[in-house]
Structures are given as C-alpha cells and as structure tokens.
C-alpha cells in the first residue's frame, strides 16, 4: 500500500469533481468509510462523517483537515430513529443541503446460524439494514426531496451464494440490495439516484475486529479468489465516487460487486495458478490490517 507520508489522495477522478457539494459518510471513522471520506474531500466535497465514536471521528477529521479538505463530524447511533432525525436536521441546518449519502456504517460477528440468538440476529440486521434505511429516509425527506435531488450509495456485501457463518449479515445485506431497488424507483421523481456496492474481502481495519480465531481463515482468503488477492479500500471508494458523480447520471437501482470475482469460483474448473492481479491504491493514508501485516 502507499505510504501515509504522501500528501494527498490519488483519485482517478478530476480535481474539483464534488466542489460545492455536501456528502455524508456514515461509519467514517475507520475502514472503508474513512477512505471514502478522504477521497470525496480530496475531490472538493465538504464531507460530514458520522459514527458512534467521537474519538475516531476527530482523528479522521484531523487527517482530512491536514490534507487540505473540508470536513465536519457528528456522533450518533444510526440505529436510533430519533438520533438520526436530529442529526440530519443538524447537518441540513448547518450546511444547507445534502448532495450525497454513503450508507457505509455496519458490522457483524461470525457465528453458525444455529448459534445466533434472536437478539444477536436483530442487532446485526438493525446495524446493516434498518440503520441505513433510517439514514436514507431522513436524508431524502429532509433534504434531497426538497433541494433538487442527490445520490445515495448503500453498502451490501458478497452474499450472492448465501453467507455461511454470518447468516444475520447476509440477510441484512440482501435486504439492502432490495431496498436499494425500491428506493431507486420511488425516489426517481425527485431526481434521487440510489445504488449499492457489494464489497468482497477488502483489506481494511475491519478485519482486525474478528479476533485471532479468524486469522488463519482471513489470511488464506486470497488463495480462493480468481484475482489471487484481496481488494483495497480505494478500490471500493472509487466505485462509490463514480456512483455519486454526474458520470452515473443514468445509473440507478443497481448493486456493483467489488469482490475480485469471488462468486465465480468453480469446483469443476480450478483457477489456473497465476500472480495476483494489479491493484489500484490511491489512498495515501492506507495501512495494512494487523492480521495481514506479515504476509
């Protein structure tokens, strides 16, 4: 990955692409959300990052400010309807309108389906689906429906063949794909586009949240991918930036898979041994997750 001493994000998009716009990124204090916030800010947007940890948000805000970007932050829980309503009202009051929303926040824990409690299942669904719904609804009602539209990008996952070991997350992510289609249809009249991305195995800080018991599996994932490597945060961010951009003006209701071809694996025809595919790493502050550092 690139050195954190580099002085700016190396986006593939033209400078100033989002100048004068306000984009909200949930879960912007770490991982993919942090990367997306950096790229959007580098492209001229005023980025509002949200999350539950004020400490994480402050750290990323300081990074973006140091890089010359415009950033604001607000800590709240996307699972709490009243907090979501109040947060969006605060953002609109301060910034005037919201041009883009990246529904990135989420999380899950590994467990076989038979061992997942009702409480655990509902917690993950609320985190990965209900919270995103609340954010999208309030951004639409309080800003986009009143101020000329906008673009929303939701976060799904590689769950096309089920999600063994994470049934709760797979169900929530599949729900988000369907919700994206419904929102795209219902909100088209207001000039709002709604799309989703479905990352596969991405080398981000989230991998360190699974604990040492998952480390051997995580470290071997690349061997099962046609591209023979994991994805990078900036490879997700660039797709999100495109979906928010005018270049995607005729794109709505779709989910873009960013998974290195993971669902294409076939027991009938094993992948031919080859070197890992080239990467695109534009994130100047990226770091390798601890679980992968000695590979």
Give the per-residue pLDDT at 5: 45
Give the per-residue pLDDT at 2: 44
Q: Which one, of 193, 283, 281, lies nearest residue 245 by Cα?
A: 193
Asked if pLDDT for residue 1 goes beyond 50, the answer is: no
Coil vs helix vs strand at 254: coil
3 state SS for 192-226: EEEEEEEECCEECHHHHHHCHHHHHHHHHHHHHCC
Give the per-residue pLDDT at 282: 96
Per-residue pLDDT tens digits for 248-277: 999 999 999 999 999 998 878 888 889 999
**Residue 292 burial by Cβ neighbours in a 10 Å radius (0-12, 13-18, 19+):** middle
131 φ/ψ sector (left φ>0, alpha ψ -120 to 50, else beta) = alpha
- The whole-number average pLDDT for the span 95-117 is 95
Where residue 7 falls among pLDDT bands split at 50, 70, 90?
A: confident
Give the per-residue pLDDT at 210: 76
Where residue 6 falls among pLDDT bands split at 50, 70, 90?
A: low
**pTM attached to this predicted model:** 0.94
Over pLDDT 90: what percentage of the chain?
80
Residue 21 CA to residue 198 CA, distance in Å, equals 25
Where residue 4 falls among pLDDT bands split at 50, 70, 90?
A: very low
Sign, CA torsion 130/177/12/101 = negative
Looking at per-residue pLDDT, the higher value among 212 and 246 belongs to 246
- Token digits of residue 12: 């593939």
DSSP 162: B
- Token digits of residue 247: 């270049």
- The whole-number average pLDDT for the span 234-253 is 98
Q: What φ, ψ does residue 127 adopt, rounded to 5°?
A: -70, -40
- The whole-number average pLDDT for the span 68-87 is 98
Looking at per-residue pLDDT, the higher value among 287 and 3 belongs to 287
Per-residue pLDDT tens digits for 169-187: 999 999 999 999 999 999 9
Give the per-residue pLDDT at 283: 97
Q: What is the mean pLDDT of the chain?
A: 94
Where residue 166 falls among pLDDT bands split at 50, 70, 90?
A: very high
Give the per-residue pLDDT at 295: 63
Domains assigned to the chain: 22-262+271-292 (3.40.50.720)
Residue 157 CA to residue 99 CA, distance in Å, equals 24
Residue 103 CA to residue 95 CA, distance in Å, equals 19
Asked if pLDDT for residue 3 goes beyond 70, the answer is: no
Over pLDDT 70: what percentage of the chain?
98
């Amino acid at each position: 990955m690139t050195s954190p001493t580099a002085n700016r994000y190396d986006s593939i998009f033209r400078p100033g692409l989002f100048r004068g716009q306000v984009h909200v990124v949930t879960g912007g204090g770490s991982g993919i959300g942090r990367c997306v916030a950096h790229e959007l800010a580098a492209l001229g947007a005023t980025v509002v990052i949200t999350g539950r940890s004020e400490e994480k948000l402050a750290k990323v805000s300081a990074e973006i400010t140091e890089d010359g970007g415009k950033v604001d932050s607000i800590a709240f829980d996307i699972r709490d309807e009243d907090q979501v309503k109040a947060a969006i009202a605060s953002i609109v009051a301060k910034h005037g309108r919201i041009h883009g929303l990246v529904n990135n926040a989420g999380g899950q824990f590994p467990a076989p389906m038979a061992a997942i409690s009702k409480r655990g299942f509902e917690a993950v669904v609320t985190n990965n689906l209900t919270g995103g719904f609340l954010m999208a609804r309030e951004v639409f009602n309080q800003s986009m429906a009143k101020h000329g539209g906008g673009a929303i990008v939701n976060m799904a996952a590689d769950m096309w063949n089920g999600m063994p070991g994470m049934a709760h997350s797979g169900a929530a992510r599949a729900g988000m794909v369907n919700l994206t289609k419904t929102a795209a249809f219902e909100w088209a009249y207001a000039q709002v586009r709604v799309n989703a991305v479905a990352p596969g195995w991405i080398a981000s800080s989230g991998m360190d949240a699974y604990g040492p018991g998952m480390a051997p599996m995580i470290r071997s994932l690349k061997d099962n991918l046609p591209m023979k490597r994991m994805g990078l945060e900036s490879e997700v961010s660039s797709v999100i930036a495109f979906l928010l951009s005018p270049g995607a003006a005729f794109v709505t209701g779709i989910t873009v898979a960013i998974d290195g071809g993971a669902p294409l694996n076939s027991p009938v025809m094993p992948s031919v041994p080859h070197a890992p595919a080239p990467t695109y790493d534009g994130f100047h502050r990226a770091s390798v997750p601890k679980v992968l550092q000695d590979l």
